[in-house]
Amino acid sequence: QVQLVESGGGLVQPGGSLRLSCAVSGFNLDYYTIGWFRQAPGQEREGVSCIRSSDGMTAYADSVKGRSTISRDNAKNTVYLQMHSLKPEDTAVYYCGADPSGSRCLRGYDVDYWGKGTLVTVSS
């Protein structure tokens, strides 16, 4: 049973912070790059951040660079996305995905498994 389950979304005021969690099961996290993606209504999916298991390499979209930190805890089979200085344009459903390739992970083309998403709403 391969599963990725996102949590931590909710309503946040502009300028606020939150931490998203992606709990994975049914496969070895060590062999996958985990990415966070988001999709707003009427918009295409956007890669937000990725972390590679082999060396911990991280990547961030320009839109969140400097405001986000991705991290992993292999013992807990969980990947986190810490975001701060949130903006209304960060409002979206956030998904995590498992990618066997560490190349171009923000593209999301090689994702094998997807979670069902968690909604982040940034509004006053």
Residues 76-89: pLDDT tens digits?
999 999 999 999 99
pLDDT at 53: 83
Q: Is 70 exposed, middle or buried (0-12, 13-18, 19+ CB in 10 A)?
A: buried
Per the CB < 8 A criterion, the answer to whether 41 and 88 are in contact is no
Is pLDDT above 90 for 58? yes
Tokens linked to 38:
């988001």
Residues whose CB falls within 8 Å of the CB of residue 101, separated by 6 or more in sequence, listed in order: 33, 110
Give the C-alpha separation, 120 to 46, whole Å: 14
How far apart, in whole angstroms, are the C-alpha atoms of residue 9 and residue 18? 8
Q: Which two tokens stand for residue 89?
A: 């344009």
pLDDT of 61-114, one tens digit each? 999 999 999 999 988 999 999 999 999 999 999 999 999 987 889 999 999 999
Does 28 score more than 90 pLDDT?
Answer: no
